[in-house]
Amino acid sequence: MNRFDGCTAIVTGAGNALGAACVARLAEEGAKVIAAASEPVSGAVETQEHDGTSAESWEALVATASGHGGVSVLINADIGFLAKSFLDTSLAEVRTLAAANVTPTWLGMRAAIPALRNNGGGYIVNVISTLGKVVSTEAAVFSALSGGLRIATKSAALECAWQEPRIMINAVLVGAVDMPLVAGSKSGPADIGIAPLIEAEAAAAAVAQLACADSAYVTGMEIYADGGYVAAPTR
């Protein structure tokens, strides 16, 4: 039996390599996937344009999932990357970066938790950069915001931990994967020493592990799909 038989999943960032890989992995294992993207995504039962910074757009995504049996899994895979030092990052870039990363994850959890509870519980997985655990001076603000998302994930998990039905909320911290660059970034994660390069499909496999009954009592945790980057004592 496939791990996601009978599940309806929302995957954001599905127009990018990592999000598309998550769609493919969940669909392969039986999920009906609602993909948030501007173009049709392979494996999705429905693709919907989505603005991660809009509460109304999140409500529309959840409503679409309701038409397919109700959401039971949310994968927040919207990530925008900016490689700049702390002092070189402008206020406009901080706001853009927050809109690309923090706002969609927060709004997604806020929209999904009541829907998951009404549907009998489920799983939320936030995909976050491994730089949320290890500081990088070459991507200082990105590191700071990613670190905040780690704590937000744990906070939301704690809020839901003692309530029934159960909602498991966890994070996958990814290393150098292909992700959209925020305007002004001259390099991607692989170019600032976050090695080795991680295939999107491998990161998607880690996401799937936390989004199903295999992790039925795992919450507020994080796993690393970074090839040992965080574990290395020196670089």
Cα–Cα dist 84/162, whole Å:
40
Per-residue confidence band for 230, with pLDDT thresholds at 50, 70 and 90: confident
Tens digit of each residue's pLDDT (9 = 90 or more) over 27-63: 999 999 999 999 999 999 999 999 999 999 999 999 9
85 is written with which tokens? 């030092």
231 is written with which tokens? 């574990």
- The CATH number corresponding to 8-225 among 3.40.1400.10, 3.40.50.720, 3.40.630.40, 3.55.40.20 equals 3.40.50.720
Query: Which strands sit side by side in the sheet containing 73-76, from one edge to the other?
Result: 46-48, 32-36, 8-11, 73-76, 122-129, 167-174, 222-225
Q: What is the residue extent of each domain of the chain?
A: 8-225
Per-residue pLDDT at 178: 81
Tens digit of each residue's pLDDT (9 = 90 or more) over 171-180: 999 988 888 8
Tens digit of each residue's pLDDT (9 = 90 or more) over 61-73: 999 999 999 999 9
Q: What is the mean pLDDT of residues 141-161?
A: 96
Per-residue confidence band for 211, with pLDDT thresholds at 50, 70 and 90: very high
Per-residue pLDDT at 229: 86
Tens digit of each residue's pLDDT (9 = 90 or more) over 66-123: 999 999 999 999 889 999 999 999 999 999 999 999 999 999 999 999 999 999 999 9
